[in-house]
């Protein structure tokens, strides 16, 4: 099987796993009897592992550019953590399982993206969004099916799909070859090179603010659907309805970026998060949250694919894994802040009030990102040339 087909299959299996768990883990936690504050703390600790380990997993990809074990190893760690979480019965056991699970997940997303960009090569990097679109499609299908499964068998049954998909991710990613076309770069040197590039530090700050808003809202979106009278099946429909719009947008992203510019799409996506949060804050019916859901997919496609594309285009390939790891770490930091603050605010003024606050945060983030990518002095600099391989690349 060609490397491109293996990458395609990896996205299908991995995002099938995400579709089985992401919309429903908050419901699972609530069924265990956890409070809003405990869910917020749990999500923050999960994100802390992403913050700490995302750059390390990504740095391993750059440090050993001819070794292909990093990605399946991360998936194996996640599978073990998922099984531990499946057995959880209280906050303490949920904490142990989720920390191990997210320690592995911290390495799958950024490493898979880096390996995809590596496989596509410089000439094909604009097609990243099209490859990623198949992941969103898998998310939609699995989220819908698992919603029906939970309705019949309870929230713990999500692991009946989640665990096989994680194991499948291990098996598929173990077969993806490395190109080994760049030289070996250490984590610290690579991170310094990235953050020292024109405009990159400000870009990461703005992205973190935007993602803080998104994670605060997403952490309690499923819970609010149920709290307003919706079923777990409706939760699946909500997330599937939101994600389905990502598929055509990601396919069309190269054309949209060529016409409007990646920077403008990034800012537009952040502003869409503002609108989605504001509308969710005034929703009093679960069906309203379903109708609002596509705004999350629209914003996600623009912000996430735009961010990955900016990093791939503006930085040399030798630090591609580290760049995606830092991108993941920024999302992890945002999740820590968003989930803890979101849990506190939701506990104090309710989930609707928390949605309103997240909209205000997204507006601030949109301004910062806009200043970084659209400012009068072009604060995100020109593309940097790729670095050739050397004998050290054998790791």
Domain 3-177+185-382 carries which CATH code?
1.20.1250.20
Q: pLDDT of 301-323, one tens digit each?
A: 899 888 888 777 766 666 666 77
Residue 253 has pLDDT above 70, yes or no: yes
Q: What is the mean pLDDT of residues 95-101?
A: 90
Q: pLDDT of 7-21, one tens digit each?
A: 889 999 999 999 899
Q: What is the pLDDT of residue 385?
A: 44
Question: Which one is predicted more confidently, 55 or 25?
Answer: 25
Whether the CB-CB separation of 246 and 301 falls below 8 Å is answered with yes
Type and span of the H or E element at 13 = helix 3-21
Distance (Å, rounded) from C-alpha 320 to C-alpha 266?
Answer: 20
Closest CA to 311 of 248, 246, 260, 266: 266
Distance (Å, rounded) from C-alpha 37 to C-alpha 43?
Answer: 10
This model's pTM is above 0.85: no
Q: What is the pLDDT of residue 69?
A: 80
Q: What is the pLDDT of residue 378?
A: 46
Closest CA to 324 of 314, 333, 334, 312: 312
Q: pLDDT of 362-390, one tens digit each?
A: 999 999 988 888 876 544 444 444 444 43
Residue 197 has pLDDT above 60, yes or no: yes
Q: What is the pLDDT of residue 359?
A: 93
Q: What is the pLDDT of residue 258?
A: 83
Query: Taking the domains of the chain in order of start, what are their residue ranges?
Result: 3-177+185-382
Phi and psi torsions of 69, nearest 5°: -90, -15
Q: What is the pLDDT of residue 53?
A: 83
Q: What is the mean pLDDT of residues 64-73?
A: 76
Which of 105-109, 127-131, 196-200, 354-358 has the weakest average pLDDT? Answer: 196-200
Q: What is the pLDDT of residue 280?
A: 93
Q: Report how far apart, in Å, the C-alpha atoms of 359 and of each of 22, 212, 234, 304, 328 are.
A: 21, 10, 24, 18, 22
Question: Which one is predicted more confidently, 142 or 55?
Answer: 142
Residue 169 has pLDDT above 90, yes or no: yes
Q: Which of 39-43, 64-68, 354-358 has the highest mean pLDDT?
A: 354-358
Residue 299 has pLDDT above 80, yes or no: yes
Residue 271 has pLDDT above 90, yes or no: yes
Closest CA to 317 of 57, 108, 58: 58
Whether the CB-CB separation of 38 and 91 falls below 8 Å is answered with yes
Q: pLDDT of 38-64, one tens digit each?
A: 887 787 777 778 778 877 877 776 676
Q: How confident is the model at residue 179 (pLDDT cuts 50, 70, 90)?
A: low
Phi and psi torsions of 245, nearest 5°: -70, -20
Which of 116-120, 230-234, 315-319 has the weakest average pLDDT? Answer: 315-319
């Amino acid at each position: 099987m060609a490397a491109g087909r293996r990458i395609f299959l990896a996205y299908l299996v991995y995002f099938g796993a995400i579709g089985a768990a992401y919309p429903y883990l908050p419901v699972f936690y609530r069924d265990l009897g956890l409070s809003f504050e405990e869910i917020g703390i749990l999500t923050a600790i999960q994100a802390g592992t992403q913050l700490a380990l995302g750059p390390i997993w990504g740095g391993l990809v750059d440090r050993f550019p001819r070794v292909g074990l990093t990605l399946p190893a991360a998936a194996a760690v996640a599978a073990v953590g998922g099984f531990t979480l499946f057995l959880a019965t209280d906050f303490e056991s949920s904490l142990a399982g989720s920390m191990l699970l997210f320690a592995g997940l911290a390495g799958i997303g950024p490493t898979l993206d880096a390996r995809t960009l590596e496989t596509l090569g410089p000439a094909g990097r604009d097609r990243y969004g099209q490859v990623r679109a198949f992941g969103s499609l898998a998310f939609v299908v699995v989220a819908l099916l698992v919603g029906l499964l939970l309705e019949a068998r309870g929230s713990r049954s999500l692991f009946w799909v989640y665990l096989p998909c994680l194991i499948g991710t291990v098996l598929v990613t173990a077969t993806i070859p490395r190109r080994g076309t760049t030289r070996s770069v250490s984590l610290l040197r690579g991170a310094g090179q990235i953050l020292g590039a024109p405009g990159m530090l400000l870009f990461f700050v703005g992205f973190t603010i935007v993602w803080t808003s998104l994670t605060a809202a997403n952490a309690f979106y499923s819970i609010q659907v149920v709290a307003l009278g919706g079923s777990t099946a409706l939760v699946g429909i909500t997330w599937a309805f939101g994600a389905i719009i990502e598929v055509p947008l990601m396919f069309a992203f190269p054309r949209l970026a060529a016409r409007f510019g990646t920077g403008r799409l990034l800012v537009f996506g952040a502003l869409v998060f503002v609108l989605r949060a504001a509308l969710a804050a005034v929703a009093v019916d679960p069906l309203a949250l379903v109708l609002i859901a596509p705004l999350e997919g629209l914003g996600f496609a623009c912000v996430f694919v735009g961010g990955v594309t900016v990093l791939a285009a503006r930085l040399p390939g030798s630090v591609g894994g580290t760049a995606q790891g830092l991108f993941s770490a920024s999302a992890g930091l945002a999740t820590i802040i968003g989930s803890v603050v979101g849990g506190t605010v939701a506990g104090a003024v309710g989930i609707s009030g928390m949605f309103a606050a997240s909209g205000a945060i997204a507006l601030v983030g949109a301004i910062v990102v806009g200043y970084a990518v659209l400012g009068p002095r072009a604060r995100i600099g020109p593309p940097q040339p790729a670095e050739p391989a050397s004998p050290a690349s054998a790791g």
